[in-house]
Chain A
């Protein structure tokens, strides 16, 4: 088979991969879950096929969603190989799940050419209102032009098949067998000992992504279906949210208990239900109903609108909205019938959607040959570059904060495929260079004494030159202030993906930057332990932001063992070691505070102070009277040896605050309240309230410092703080953001429409 077409392959060699998924892997609902289950089946065999994935950024998702966890786990394990845009591969079969993937031509050649493509239609061509959902002819044409010369179309259900009607493309081949959703029975346990429902507390649930189309048209109808205000009924909603308050006008019925949508923990949610009831909007046409299948697999007695009977047969019950609660009451009154229906549901799923439909067997129907090699050949490189550049751009800051957070991400990127590059206005840039990354320095206007407008114009040119030469796949910007020169860079390279990785806890003076998210492909917000107390301007952006768990540069468990850390600093086991870490002092005069803190700490004869001086601060007065009880040093990252510490006194910047808390170090936080800083005070107050630390405002130091330090040096108090902090699970935010950056740097865009993408 040859491929002399648009993909740059003159001749297709023997296929390197067996199957390559070409998908929008960020879908959070049924499509991704279906793919994840297929991958489970494909990859957990004893002799699995070689499977790759091309990550497509399609137009439906504007937010910086991560790749679905059920798919990402296979990438992380190394079994699912991401094919990057600079590579060129071949495969036997390409699986395109969902037509949105090829709604537009890719903006660059695909890294794979397939002997055969299968377009799996997870969505009807028309909704119930008769509105066309996609242009199938265009989709197929784009596949034939860029991926494979042969394309089969496989609907996932009779609903989708029927929606095609007379609209099958002239060259299209629609296969006779539906591409049924498969399910792994072990993932959806059937509890054979479950008792019949308690008539005084009937638990009914539903699970759908938060979208008004997934709910009945009117509140009256929804209340009828979901037993509003019945004291004997609890309605559990997995996939609730503010949209529901708007749709039905809050307050909602008191017996409706909402939980945020999540693709994980669904089985546990379902295991707590007696009934599963799902009704949607009249306009919505459910292509299949993956969440219904999951409920049936768990043996839930499931009630649906009558039109679903075609798909789920005797596995479910069907009723008009007015009859739902009567039907439930009937089954509550008849435990035998209830248990019969549970078994019927489970049996039906096992028969139609479980192991019999192994993913590999199904793909073999489309000509998949037996695997002939153990691994794909070495990565074919283009242009002599094995790795894709990712540019980490940061503003100046007053310390090492922005760079520390970027290093947390860069250090977790796949080093064999991604090259992190740093460009910063920070005098701390050396920490990135010392970590082994290429670095570029661009001066901040404060360091030049330059006017804003002129400086921004030149900054835009400087970034343009760097990006033009470096050709990064992605730019990740860290900073609260998005300068005009920074915003111009992604605007100048519209195909390049860009992420604004910025923290929360903004002060009001930062509000002017809220709208700058429009210059980036997405905004990622590293989580804050004290996030619930944050009422600042970023709360207005939350609909455009993906919030991760807190980000730490060094994992607490990766720190040096305590004895070695103490030896590293020349400290003995008997010392009560207190770190003093007051930042650069650039906008927070700490000279008097430092003297007072040292004096107060040294009153306790057990104390030795480890003063960790910012790389940007001059080395302070050594306080000769302290002798060797004051050890001064510069160290980055100091958290690595923080196991040597018994306590700390310091500011509450994002990184140091989360390191102290997750590192289990009892700390007296004295927040830097300079107006341009984020709200360190909020963090410090949170730690105080939670019993994980102490908070003392700098303006109160005069009267409160002695007592606060006495509190900190009290062994019992510190033990209490450590015990509370020890209950926190280690955050995975750094790995989470790194995965997003790695995946986005491999994405190929089909989300740009021709009128916008093709310049004239």
Chain B
């Protein structure tokens, strides 16, 4: 807060890999992304480290396709 910065935290990829069945991760991350944009209305998003799209794609790779379908039933 001293630097006038606030932090939001997204689930670690290690956690997604450890709990692939916990939920439909890609859908949740997309929801989260949309809500964070609505919350902060940023003029621009600058990635420090992994860009969000890469993060979501990596998460998708970590959870099985079958599992995503299962959650959508």
A329-337, A383-391, A672-680 - the one binding chain B = A383-391
> Complex: how many Å from CA A470 to CA B73?
14
A544 within 8 A of B: no
> Complex: how many Å from CA A385 to CA B24?
12
A717 within 8 A of B: no
User: Which A residues lie within 8 Å of B13 (CB)?
Assistant: none
User: Which A residues lie within 8 Å of B9 (CB)?
Assistant: 441
B28 in contact with A469 (CB, 8 Å): yes
A439-B15, A469-B24, A471-B23 given; A447·B1 CB < 8 A: yes
Interface size on B, as a range, is 20 to 34
A383 in contact with B71 (CB, 8 Å): yes
B8 in contact with A443 (CB, 8 Å): yes
A462 within 8 A of B: yes
B6 within 8 A of A: yes
B19 in contact with A447 (CB, 8 Å): no
Instruction: Report B14-61 residues with CB < 8 Å from chain A CB.
Output: 15, 18-19, 21-24, 27-28, 31-32, 35, 38-39
A383 in contact with B8 (CB, 8 Å): no
Interface centre among B11, B18, B22, B27, by most chain A C-beta atoms within 10 angstroms, is B22
B6 in contact with A470 (CB, 8 Å): no
B21 in contact with A385 (CB, 8 Å): yes
Closest chain B residue to A386, Cβ basis? B21
B22 in contact with A458 (CB, 8 Å): no
A419 within 8 A of B: yes
Number of interface residues of A (CB under 8 A): 25
Q: Which of A421, A439, A461 contacts B35 (CB 8 A)?
A: A461
- Nearest CB of B to A671, in Å: 28
**Residues of chain A having any CB pair with chain B under 8 Å:** 383-386, 389, 419, 421, 433, 438-441, 443, 447-449, 458, 461-462, 465-466, 468-471
The SS class assigned to the A binding surface is mixed
User: Which B residues lie within 8 Å of A462 (CB)?
Assistant: 35
Closest chain A residue to B25, Cβ basis? A469
Closest chain B residue to A465, Cβ basis? B31
User: Which B residues lie within 8 Å of A447 (CB)?
Assistant: 1, 6-7
B32 in contact with A443 (CB, 8 Å): no
Closest chain A residue to B39, Cβ basis? A458
A443 in contact with B7 (CB, 8 Å): yes
B19 in contact with A438 (CB, 8 Å): yes
User: Which A residues lie within 8 Å of B27 (CB)?
Assistant: 469
- Nearest CB of B to A696, in Å: 33
A384-B67, A384-B70, A465-B32 given; A449·B6 CB < 8 A: yes
Q: Which of A383, A438, A441, A465 contacts B22 (CB 8 A)?
A: A438
Q: A458-B35, A469-B23 are in contact. List 14 more A-B contacts (CB 8 A).
A: A383-B70, A384-B21, A389-B23, A419-B19, A421-B22, A438-B15, A439-B11, A439-B15, A441-B8, A443-B7, A447-B7, A448-B6, A468-B31, A470-B22
> Complex: how many Å from CA A468 to CA B31?
10
> Complex: how many Å from CA A360 to CA B50?
64
Q: Which of B6, B15, B31, B39 contacts A469 (CB 8 A)?
A: B31
A384-B67, A438-B11 given; A465·B18 CB < 8 A: no
User: Which A residues lie within 8 Å of B18 (CB)?
Assistant: 438
User: Which B residues lie within 8 Å of A385 (CB)?
Assistant: 21, 70
User: Which A residues lie within 8 Å of B31 (CB)?
Assistant: 465, 468-469
- Nearest CB of A to B55, in Å: 15
A384-B70, A461-B35, A462-B35 given; A470·B15 CB < 8 A: no
User: Which A residues lie within 8 Å of B66 (CB)?
Assistant: 384
Q: Which of A383, A440, A443, A468 contacts B11 (CB 8 A)?
A: A440
User: Which A residues lie within 8 Å of B8 (CB)?
Assistant: 441, 443
Closest chain A residue to B20, Cβ basis? A384
User: Which B residues lie within 8 Å of A449 (CB)?
Assistant: 1, 6
- Nearest CB of A to B71, in Å: 7
User: Can you list 8 A-B pairs with a CB-CB distance of less than 8 A?
Assistant: A384-B66, A384-B71, A386-B21, A389-B22, A419-B22, A433-B15, A438-B15, A458-B35
